[in-house]
Structure 1
Amino acid sequence: MHGEICDGWVRALRGQTLCFTGRVLIDGEWIVRKCCEETAHQLGANCKSDFSRRITVVVHGDLASQAVTDKQRQYSKKLVGAARERDRGYHICVVDGDGFADLIEGYPALCRKLQRAQGRDDHVYVLPRPGDGILGGPLQRQRVGHHETDALALDLSRLDKGTEAHEATVAALIDYLAREQVEARGHARNAPRFDAGWSRGDEVFIAEVKSLTGTSEDQQIRLGIGQILDYAHQLQPTHGRINPVLVLERQPMNPRWISLAEANGIRLTWAPDFAGC
């Protein structure tokens, strides 16, 4: 999205007109602007070397989700121009190197928020967001298919029930968070593949969702506990404290799972109320 409307995401390169502030840091490797432009062209984008209102996306390659206090995050003239256009009511999207890499791989990229340096009209900073490098694009509801009913389809039918229950729980979680004015998001491109994530203030939550329909409740909960602890452990060395959440289709029959989850630092919650999310 660009112009007067932006929902916070750049969803694809195709049809965009890009300009780059210089080389771009992509997954730890610096890529020169010419190569970035060639890749963007191959994916249906146009590129311009100068800044104008024809630009829909500015790629700030030196950002790469570093700390906002880093003086290298000062914007070039192109990014100052983007900030000025925003001030005038014309929104130009800004993505960092991670966002450009996401777009190349078919993931949506977060449109970065800008802030002017106090007392300076020619220095603008990008604001970090809780969950950078952890949370990906908006979480989407999935449609569930059905198998034909016959003598060989009994197990598949049970699997469908479990899948439907899983997706219904995910959908209910999305709706609950939306009512709380919190955006449910998927995993970032290079993050563990958790089912859902969100942020509240500076806190980041990642969740594994488990259905309890047509399967062993104990087995599902054990599996979910192991998965979400593993995901949080993978993220902590580089991202600090993460809040792991196990989301169930319904309240478990055995209350011992509540104390077990609490003892391991996991928030255990379930539909439809999702207490503690």
Structure 2
Amino acid sequence: MAKTDFSRRITLVVYGDLASKVVTDSRRAYSSKLVDADASRNGGRHVCVVDADGFSKLLKRRPAPCLELRRSSAGRVRPVAAAPARREILGGPLRVRRPGQRSSGDLTLDLNRLDKAAAAHEATVGALLAHLSGQGIDVHTHAPGAPAFDAGWSHRGDLFIAEVKSLTGAREDQQIRLGIGQILDYAYQLRTAHPDRRLHPVLVLEKRPMDPRWSSLARSAGIRLTWAPGFPDL
């Protein structure tokens, strides 16, 4: 913080490079602020303390942990070390988006096909949400920095990530091949970053595929293949 005084108007203290280190000089600006923040807390008025990483999250309108202060054996206040950054997988609640409206023109036919495919995709997402919500399962989008899967949820300690593919306005085999490649890539990235998580990749289709080979092919690759409206195997 740029302010050198400490008044009742201060509700947030940001410290820089003192994380994980004992404060040894109480006359330094950061040290005195932490001491004053601790005294304010002991007096019944809470002052939030964050590190530089936490302050960066606040600037991005993301939550940041408020760090505790405790006394060392020498009686000086030292900040509790911030927990190592944990890469999340699931983000906020998944919502169905409205397909964009386009103006008419030379590409009207192609754009209409794209809009129908987008509408079919979101309709499938909505049906998946309703199906899982009926089982009491909360569905999420991907977290910032995680692979951009379409839907993710946790159930009985296991993690499920899904890629949704519409079959409207496109070749079925092309869409399914694309979906298989995407979900395998996402699963590989997440298993590498989170080897302790039990992760299940899911490919969700707008409708049952015409060729039955896709079910056995997906199963051989460790992918759950399902489709609207009944979503078998989910």
TM-score (norm 2): 0.66
Q: Establish whether residue 216 from structure 1 lines up as the match of residue 174 from structure 2.
A: no
Match of 2:203 among 246, 255, 264: 246
Q: Establish whether residue 184 from structure 1 lines up as the match of residue 142 from structure 2.
A: no
How many angstroms apart in 1 are the aligned matches of 2:231 and 2:217? 18
Instruction: Look at both structures and tell me which one has the larger radius of gyration over its CA atoms.
Output: 2
Moved over 4 A (4+): 48-55, 58-61, 100-104
State the match for 2:104 in structure 1.
149
DSSP-derived class of the 1:204 partner: strand
Q: Establish whether residue 197 from structure 1 lines up as the match of residue 148 from structure 2.
A: no
Q: In 2 relative to 1, CA 267–59 (structure 1 residues): closer, same or farther, beyond 3 Å? A: farther
Out of 251-260 and 142-151, give the one that drifted further. 142-151
How many angstroms apart in 2 are the aligned matches of 1:224 and 1:168? 17
The residue identity in structure 2 corresponding to 1:196 is: A
Match of 1:270 among 223, 227, 233: 227
Q: In 2 relative to 1, CA 142–104 (structure 1 residues): closer, same or farther, beyond 3 Å? A: farther
How many angstroms apart in 2 are the aligned matches of 1:157 and 1:214? 9
How many angstroms apart in 2 are the aligned matches of 1:105 and 1:180? 34
DSSP-derived class of the 1:269 partner: strand
- 8 Å CA contact 1:102, 1:189 repeated in 2: no
DSSP-derived class of the 1:228 partner: helix
Q: Establish whether residue 165 from structure 1 lines up as the match of residue 120 from structure 2.
A: yes
DSSP-derived class of the 2:118 partner: helix
Gaps of 5+ in 2: 1-10, 22-28, 31-36, 66-85
- 8 Å CA contact 1:134, 1:191 repeated in 2: yes
How many angstroms apart in 2 are the aligned matches of 1:59 and 1:180? 40
How many angstroms apart in 2 are the aligned matches of 1:245 and 1:110? 32
Which residues of 2 match residues 227-238 of structure 1 at below 5 A? 227-238=182-193
Residues 42-79 of structure 1, C-alpha deviations (whole Å, 9 max, x = no match): xxxxxx87559997xx7887xxxxxxxxxxxxxxxxxx
Number of aligned residue pairs: give it: 186
The residue identity in structure 1 corresponding to 2:133 is: A
Q: What is the CA-CA distance between 1:101 and the residue it aligns to? A: 6.4
DSSP-derived class of the 2:133 partner: helix
Gaps of 5+ in 1: 1-17, 25-29, 36-47, 62-96, 112-130
- 8 Å CA contact 1:110, 1:137 repeated in 2: no
- C-alpha root-mean-square deviation of aligned residues, in Å? 3.7
How many angstroms apart in 2 are the aligned matches of 1:173 and 1:161? 18
TM-score (norm 1): 0.57
- 8 Å CA contact 1:149, 1:157 repeated in 2: no
How many angstroms apart in 2 are the aligned matches of 1:145 and 1:262? 35
How many angstroms apart in 1 are the aligned matches of 2:91 and 2:130? 18
How many angstroms apart in 1 are the aligned matches of 2:116 and 2:188? 31
Percent of paired sites with the same residue = 50
